Homo-oligomer: A and B are copies of this chain.
Amino acid sequence: MKHVKYGKCVKCGRTYSAVPDLTTCACGGILDIVYDYEYVRAHLTKEKLAARPERSMWRYRELLPVADSTEPTPLRVGWSPLYEEPRLAEILGLKRLWVKDDGQNPTASLKDRASAMAVAKAREAGASVIACSSTGNAASSLAGNAAAAGLSTYIFVPSRAPKGKVAQLMTFGATVISVQGSYEETFELSKQAIDRWGWYNRNAAINPYLSEGKKTVALEIMEQLDWQTPDYIAISVGDGCTIAGLWKGLKDLYAIGFIDRLPRLISAQAAGCCPLNRSIETGEDWRPMEENTLADSIAVGVPRNADKALMAIRESDGLVVNVSDEEIMAAQKLLGRTCGVFGEPAGVTGAAGVKKLCEAGVIGEDNTVVSVVTGNGLKDVANAIKSCGEPISIPSDMDRLLAAFAERRITVD
């Protein structure tokens, strides 16, 4: 990989050759993949990119840590739609607003970007088995992307994972271990098992390539905005890997001169589980929290990628915002009704944060904002139904329909 220099520890600065099965630093720190930006600049131009027919994350090969000979993974991951939402912008009082719907991915979440990368690197490493622990989306995306590539998977999820995600896993043929405990306990068991059997490791806080997959969401947003930087990009935060990946992509583009300024990040966490945002707010080290939110994908009391995430928020002069479960579910409905985008609770937490910051007057009519929806609402139907209520239920009878409309004060024009 001529364009990749090495993996560098974000804690102690030690560097490691970028072998396919790279994990963490000897000091325990997480590695960051460092590119030769001069090489990338020489080989990638905006014009070259614009002419490329590939509409997937593999469109950005010069900025991805894979060998020239590595083939794109089978499922079509990435190039999700970026919708401008003038009506929602008006409701919130923003200058301009875009929604990046990353629920439009093969297994319906942003995690497909990391899992496709894991599959690509596992193939480079000659591995036939991949394993991970996950709150659910990383799991189902790994299972799907691996199945399509003919690799097998061992997957550890906390028992609270929603049925939609478990159904995907089982259908994709993964061996699924549902751990009766927190995400932290799930992660620990997966770590022991991976150490024991030597499976290829897809835990995003251990395998430094996975953030590089996730960063493609930033590359796409900026290309879809024709390289015009918005003021803010909002995203939900759990383990910390996704916001770190987002930031990495933006810094890459800045480093190669594709964008001339960086946006500020908005880190949205659930009020019931916000160890990273609390650390930013208090200026103290992060400490574990209970996992007390229905937004299961970001219910991470012990974030495994705290260092990179906190660095990303601070470097970007970012904002942090914590939202209640009620605010999350209200954002789900708002996005559904005004944008036709159905996000899972964690998926719309970024949008809930944007709404809250608008209401607080922190951001407003001078600002342009991109809000990333990280997962599809179909992943967690139970909470959506609880939030939206039940439909009108009647027999096939016009009088009953009229009565039902009258009862609910529905006036038909």
Q: Which residues of B contact A145 (CB under 8 A)?
A: 340
Q: Which one of A242-250, A296-304, A364-372, A383-391 is at the B interface?
A: A383-391
A121 to B413, CA, bound (A): 20
- Are A107 and B170 CB-contacts (below 8 A) given A186-B396, A337-B147? no
Chain A residues bordering chain B, tally (CB within 8 A): 82
A159 to B390, CA, bound (A): 11
A106 to B341, CA, bound (A): 8
A30 to B147, CA, bound (A): 43
Q: Which residues of B contact A342 (CB under 8 A)?
A: 107, 144, 167-168, 171-172
A123 at the interface (CB under 8 A from B): no
Question: Do B384 and A178 touch across chains, with their CB atoms under 8 A apart?
Answer: no
Nearest CB in chain B: distance from A116 CB, A: 10
A410 to B173, CA, bound (A): 13
A255 at the interface (CB under 8 A from B): no
A87 to B143, CA, bound (A): 17
Q: How many copies does the complex hold?
A: 2
Question: Do B404 and A177 touch across chains, with their CB atoms under 8 A apart?
Answer: yes
Question: Do A189 and B397 touch across chains, with their CB atoms under 8 A apart?
Answer: yes
Among candidates B173, B196, B384, residue contacting A170 with C-beta atoms closer than 8 Å: B384
Q: Which residue of B lies closest to A182 (CB)?
A: B396
Nearest CB in chain B: distance from A97 CB, A: 13
* A residues 366-413 touching B (CB-CB < 8 Å): 376-379, 381-382, 384-385, 388-398, 401, 404, 410, 412-413
- Are A170 and B337 CB-contacts (below 8 A) given A76-B104, A396-B185? no
Q: Which residues of B contact A163 (CB under 8 A)?
A: 381-382, 385
* A residues 291-345 touching B (CB-CB < 8 Å): 332-333, 336-342
Q: Which residues of B contact A393 (CB under 8 A)?
A: 159, 178, 180
Closest 3 CB pairs of A and B: A148-B340, A170-B388, A176-B391
27 interchain pairs (CB within 8 A)? A75-B83, A81-B106, A83-B148, A106-B341, A145-B340, A147-B336, A148-B341, A157-B391, A163-B382, A164-B164, A167-B384, A168-B336, A171-B336, A171-B388, A172-B337, A177-B404, A178-B390, A178-B392, A179-B396, A180-B394, A180-B396, A181-B395, A189-B397, A189-B398, A378-B378, A378-B379, A381-B381
